[in-house]
Amino acid sequence: MPITPTEKIWMNGELVPWDQAQIHILTHSLHYGMGVFEGIRAYETAAGPGIFRLTDHMRRLHESARIMGMPMPYAVDELVEATKAVVAASGLPSCYIRPIAYYGYGEMGLNTLPCTTEVAIACWPWGAYLGDDALTKGVRMKVSSWSRHDHNAMPPAAKTTGNYVNSSLAKVEALNAGYDEAIMLNPQGFVSECTGENIFVARNGRFLTPPLSSGALEGITQSTVTSIARDLGFEVAEGVLARSDLYIAEEAFVCGTAAEVSSVASVDDRDIPIGPMTLAIGREYARTVRGEVDRYKDWVEVV
């Protein structure tokens, strides 16, 4: 999706004009893929723009950096305030937010120890990643020929820029084959996650989502919809899923900050019903992120 420029980007402690937020061609992370990032959304609420689970996202950014051995020059609370400043400067009632920490210019080669960490936060308008009607109409999924990373190859628990080469290959393969999104299996052949979303599959009246050991990212939206589903009276558990479990699912959906809650209409051309549990969860999620559900209001951080 194309990016619409906004007024300012926060870079290393300062708000700079959008067109001046630049890096050198020899920036270390551009060459070696060593960076960590987050995807966050701000929604229009009655009290102004509300950033959903902002602090949780910045904690995960710090955790990703720690896994990668990357020193972070800003504390979680500093990044929270910087994000609010970026959103306020944009004047947007709702937007997508991208914080990123990366190794900057000055060192080259695989040794990151001498590198300096730089941090930037940008925001811009961005619609639903898998389509505005993805909850009600669903998306067509394909099991990818590309496997999700093994834990001892590229740590999937870290939201690392280099990890997403794997996801991009799977995404483009699916799009070129006429599908909307890809589902990735781990090296053992079990379901891990999609290219940018966690997946939930209903079997025998309850939802299962792959455990972290499968190679799935510990999703913030995943934990959100798990709480929502349980509060609605649905049973949710972590469980190992085989490819065949996808084909005979009673319902299925994927979720992530960009995709929100999107129903799965088919996997490898096996139709899956768009069911009442998924629709209820998706609608409650849409109300939650906009600060309309009292029990979840603490998740919405107003700018």
Residues annotated as catalytic (active site), given as ranges:
159
CA–CA distance, 45 with 156 (Å, rounded to integer) = 33
Helix 220-231 vs helix 276-289: crossing angle, to nearest 10: 110
DSSP β-bridge partners for residue 261: 255
Phi-psi group of 290: left, alpha or beta (phi > 0 → left; psi -120 to 50 → alpha; rest → beta)? alpha
Residue 60 near residue 159, CB atoms below 8 Å: yes
CB contact burial 118-145 (16+ within 10 A = b; e otherwise)? bbbbbbbebeebbeeebbeebbbbbbbe
Class of residue 93 by CB neighbours under 10 A (exposed 0-12, middle 13-18, buried 19+): middle
Are 154 and 32 within 8 A, CB to CB? no
Q: Which ranges of 114-177 would DSSP assign to H, the alpha helix?
A: 134-137, 164-176
Closest alpha carbon to 301 in 75, 52, 77, 58: 52
d(CA 62, CA 147): 26
Give the helix/strand (H/E) hosting 283.
helix 276-289
